[in-house]
Amino acid sequence: MKKIDNYFTLQEIIFITTMVAIDIGSGIFMKPLLGALGVTAFIRIDMILPLTIIFFTRKKIGKFGTIILYEFLWAFSASFVMPMSFDTPGILKLLPAFIFAITFEVLFYYLPKKYNINMWGAAIIGVIINQFTLLGVKILLGLPFLNIVKVSFAVQSVSIIGVALFSVYMALLLLRRFSSEKFNLLFRNIDFQK
């Protein structure tokens, strides 16, 4: 298939959908387990793997719009497979998912690429905006803004930054560990960006 710079090749779409499937598959098992322990009410450790996969995918494909496509596929699929993930019912996941994706893409594209500043900066600002977006959606759905919600939100907002930074570190580690040659064994003919 001929590659056109401004569009995704079939192989790149297959790669992105595979990463989304891994994300959703791990979420089906991890989110209920961690939610039952009550840890995720304050520290979103359940987001380490999904964020790592997202950042890894964006860096590996290297095209603007990767995360927008990723988040659309994730939100649409999760609407049916994990209808109450993010405490946001069904198709309403699309709104926060798109806001996060667009924020991340714009920051990733415009921030300096040297030393992966664009990746670190996009991760920090992106997850903060995502936190406020999710809170806004919950309030619109009628969730009462109680004192415990305020405390939980404040702690989550601080902890999610740490989670995002750790996820970027893990994504960069994966990028160093897996060369393009190794990935080409799984996804042949994908011309990954350097």
Alpha carbons 167 and 49: distance in angstroms, whole number:
7
Q: Is residue 166 part of a domain?
A: yes
76 close to 92: Cβ distance less than 8 angstroms: no
Q: Is residue 5 part of a domain?
A: no
* The pLDDT of residue 44: 79
pTM higher than the cut 0.85: no
Q: Are 164 and 103 in contact (CB under 8 A)?
A: no
Residue 35 tokens, joined: 């939610």
Is 49 in contact with 26 (CB distance < 8 Å)?
yes
4 lies in a domain?
A: no
Determine the Cα angle at 83 with ends 24 and 81, to 5°. 40
The answer to whether the beta carbons of residues 120 and 165 sit under 8 Å apart is: yes
Q: What is the dihedral of CA 42, 48, 50, 53, to 10 degrees?
A: 160
Is residue 113 domain-resident? yes
Is residue 83 situated within a structural domain? yes
Domain limits at 172? 10-186
Structure confidence at residue 156 (pLDDT): 81
Q: Return the structure tokens found at 22.
A: 């891994």
Average pLDDT by stretches of 10, the chain with 194 residues? 61 92 88 73 83 94 92 86 62 80 93 94 91 78 60 80 96 83 55 52
Q: Is there a domain that residue 3 lies in? A: no
Question: Is residue 127 in some structural domain?
Answer: yes
Q: How many domains does the chain have?
A: 1
